[in-house]
Structure 1
């Protein structure tokens, strides 16, 4: 974690956002209202001395499919609905009269406890609230929308992005998504194509679903070496500098997919210095970065053993709320150091609010946003209206930016405690002569390395066979752990090391301890300890 802040930059930015809202008054945006981030960014954003983003249509990075995407005719026509007195006989937008939902209400946990038994409030959103001066209602939320998502949520997302990330180029923007997996699939189709023999670089062990998304597109995946801080910039530079297209049968990679914070599966978090070094390598080789950050706000202090925590109980207590201290403690994101516009950051509510919302957003240059929207218009058409209504009621109407950030600090503290429970159990119940790990400083996962060279049958059996045996021992013993081989970037290569991944996100604290005991027994059985 970084040192406490010396300035109140975040507080000043948040106050400026509040002042802009007060000056603008209630939102007046109806069904399928067009919106973009420039509507909500700080005034004179284009005149702050920030550079414009690099043009990606001037290099051979975008796919043929992406280049050929055209605006959706009917969605473009919906822009005219904002004209006073306009009567539509155009698009088939159903009348809200036939929506059988008159009101949605929910019980929301409030600070400082954020628990079901603590303080709460019950916001609601009705069908015709905008007629009474409200910003949003069900007649708008449950109808068709622009692919960027609702005008109302676009404002919140743009403000949040400006407050936290403030990209250092002028023409940045956002677009809502149906979650980061869908956003990644569209981004891959924008930048890659099998006919060009494209390859995506990832960490050598990467998010299994991402790898499974890349492969069917006819695009190859190549892994770059990692250490305790994630991607090793020197290894990435060597991989790209020595790329032999003839020998590999594919183009030199121009896309990097990375999970920089609490990486899945390794749990590694790239430091600020590491991110700058990786970014410099991508500048050198003109690589576009797909930054997937579902665990960004689950950054944690370093793990301390139980005895140390017991001697310093104040260190384990939740820190008093301070906006600037909390945001300054987070490692800067790639998009906040992106002077070129070569990053598309994918944000998600899945790990910090609810995965079932199927809602997130991307941040990128205006050109990339425009191409992304062209894909979305004929694919997802934007996130669910129910999700937008519920999240707007929570994040905008009820909590606001600062209370949402308080919630994130609360979740961060809760996951820190859960991580500690799992690591304490590992220290107590795993055979440390054959199992080692680096305590994660973010995310939801612990990556365990098993010393396969100490296995009594290593000369006669493959690592894959030993891994399968341990996995089956786990299942028989009543514990499910993820096999390291599931996360290989290059599954066609034989395993060179033996890993398992455990999560501290799902099981109760009591069951986590039981699970680690069972995992330890499964490992001992295979290693004959």
Structure 2
């Protein structure tokens, strides 16, 4: 990889970069000057692009990632560049008349313009948006008319697997502002959501019969994506901070390939922030310890982070004054727990990013960040599968994030989300403290995400005396809660390895979707269910 042409940078093979001149860290307000130094935005149909066009000059003073071809699957190694996608690069030639690709004529796109009404900072509420929001218009011919860098003529046609350059630029800049990966040749590519990105990870990095490392309780859909591919989960114990690095090290150090019937696993799937389902968040120290284990055993870390920006204010209890919101963008960014990507000196992290929890899940747009060689394999896969995320979704996100909010407004939105989720989390915890019987219900306040993990001391259930099993008691409590008109998720639904005997019992509650009043009523009903079940 080399810097884009407009950058006059002396690239040297130094591994110790402490003596190299590094520009001052770029800030949100410095992005316009940053953009002036970058290559010109490609605006044609199916325009080829990469993150190298949009990263800051400072990025190229860093060392390159290690090589990980030895971790690629047979499928990944066999994929070639798409012949037809590759031919699209000639469309940029001035004066060329294309009779080559099967690109429909935009005159037959039955959309002349799209209007969307969005919040104008700081008025982020639905009421404020309704009264004083801004209407953004995307027209079919905005590029040729000089009113935008992106229009429906481009967005509604076929595109490259990397996604549109216009949105790729934004997420590349955002990645560097928030995470500043410590190696030079990192890349981003847009995806059709994180679930599809995870499915692609498995295809690129594993073979049938392999084990993958997962938290002992994990996102059920992530496990259900893996199992039909012939993969098995190696469940790593967790605590209130999530993944336990010593336990992971012990499992890998004592791996018996003959007894297990499979090679030692080298892919870790983890949700480090606001973990689903437990709500646990790995501290900076915990992440560094996990990363060292990954280095020791040559592990690829797949960092699934849909809840990263749902890190909340500290929980201080019902009667204490709530901490004020971050006073600045810089303070907000510094308050975030360092990501695995920000610690990744090797290029062994594949970060799955998503707009699902911070904008809207129906956009089906996310992105991955990884080393150039890994992203290149993703792109080869996407070219003949998902092709590219929805053009309508990319257009809507571009208009909102880049043209309207910019990086500054997006951070204002994320700070607003922090405070909103803090209020919802606090409402749930207050209700738990008010209603749930402490003699059988235990919990730790979540510091991020959307979920509250409630442990139930099932050994005190009266059904024990009549020989009821743990699983039977869990089902009885679950169905009793439904009878009390409240739905929670059973902890057993999230077990990574169903063959492991569960010693504890949990139920997952979310505070994302309901109002404070409904949360209070729901917890009251669950408490009544527990009192009935345990004869309290």
**Under TM normalisation by the shorter chain, which class is it?**
over 0.9
Counterpart contact for 1:11–1:323, Cα < 8 Å: no
Name the residue aligned to 2:12.
none
**Distance in 2 between residues matched to 1:167 and 1:492, nearest whole Å:** 38
1:121 maps to 2:134: yes
Give the whole-Å Cα distance in 1 for the aligned partners of 2:362 and 2:85. Answer: 27
Range with bigger deviation, 418-427 or 485-494? 485-494
The answer to whether the 8 Å contact 2:35/2:54 transfers is no
Indicate whether 1:477 and 2:487 are aligned.
Answer: no
Q: CA deviation at 1:214?
A: 0.7
Structure 1 position 373 matched with structure 2 position 386:
no
Distance in 1 between the 2:281 and 2:39 partners? 41
Give the CA deviation at 1:193: 1.2
Q: What corresponds to 2:152 in structure 1?
A: 138
Distance 1:369 1:112, change over 3 A: same
**1:96 matched to 2:98:** no
**Cα separation, 1, equivalents of 2:39 and 2:58:** 19
Superposition pairs of residues 165-176 of structure 1, within 5 angstroms: 165-176=179-190
Secondary structure in 1 matching 2:525: helix
CA RMSD of aligned residues (A): 1.5
Q: Contact 2:192 / 2:389 at 8 angstroms: preserved in 1?
A: yes
Instruction: Give 1:6's aligned residue.
Output: none
8 Å Cα contact 2:59/2:183 also seen in 1: no
Which position in structure 1 is the counterpart of 2:280?
Answer: 268
The range that moved more, 239-248 or 201-210, is 239-248
CA contact (8 A) 2:73 2:203 kept: yes
Counterpart in 1 of 2:310? Answer: 298
From 108, 112, 115, the counterpart of 1:105: 115
Name the counterpart of 1:242: 254
Report Cα offsets for 1:107-129 as digits up to 9, x if no partner: 11112131122232111110000
Q: Deviations over 1:141-195 (max 9, x none)?
A: 000000110111111111111111111111100000011101000001111111x
Helix, strand or coil at the partner of 1:390: helix
In the TM superposition, what whole-angstrom CA distance separates every residue of 1:358-407 from its partner, at most 9, and x where no partner exists? 00100000000000011111111110000001000000110001100110
What aligned pairs does 1:291-440 form with structure 2 within 5 A after superposition? 291-308=303-320, 312=321, 315-320=322-327, 322-440=328-446
Specify the alignment match of 2:535 in structure 1.
Answer: 528
Q: Residue 151 of structure 2 contacts residue 395 of structure 2 at CA under 8 Å; is this kept in 1?
A: yes
Q: Secondary structure at the match of 1:122?
A: strand
Measure the CA separation in 2 of the matches of 1:185 and 1:28: 30
CA distance in 1 between counterparts of 2:126 and 2:454 reads: 34
Q: Output one character per residue of 1:405-432: Cα deviation in whole Å (capped at 9) or x when no partner.
A: 1100000100000000000000111111
Give the unaligned 5+ runs of structure 2: 1-22
The count of aligned residue pairs is 509
- How far the C-alpha of 1:316 sits from its partner, in A, is 4.3
1:518 correspondence with 2:525: yes
1:199 aligns with 2:211: yes
User: Contact 1:11/1:324 (CA < 8 Å) preserved in 2?
Assistant: no
Cα distance in 2 for partners of 1:44, 1:162 equals: 10
* C-alpha contact 1:26 1:135 (8 A) present in aligned 2: no
Task: Provide the rounded CA distance (Å) in 2 between the counterparts of 1:269 and 1:400.
Answer: 29
* 1:305 Cα deviation from its structure 2 partner: 1.6
Deviation at 1:62, TM superposition (A): 1.2
SS of the residue corresponding to residue 218 of structure 2 reads: coil
Instruction: Give yes or no for the alignment of 1:444 onto 2:456.
Output: no
TM-score (structure 1 length as normaliser): 0.94
Q: Report the equivalent of 2:237.
A: 225
1:37 is matched with which residue: 45, 51, 58?
Answer: 51
Q: Helix, strand or coil for the counterpart of 1:168? A: coil
The one of 159, 169, 179 equivalent to 2:173 is 159
Asked if the contact 2:484/2:525 (under 8 Å) is kept, the reply is yes
Q: Is 1:285 the equivalent of 2:292?
A: no
Q: Residue by residue, what CA displacement relative to the aligned partner does 1:424-482 show, whole Å, maximum 9, x if unpaired? A: 00011111110100100000000011112222223612111000000100111111100
Q: Tell me, yes or no, if structure 1 residue 73 matches structure 2 residue 83.
A: yes
State the TM-score, normalized to the length of structure 2: 0.93
Deviation at 1:317, TM superposition (A): 4.3
SS at structure 1 position matched to 2:157: coil
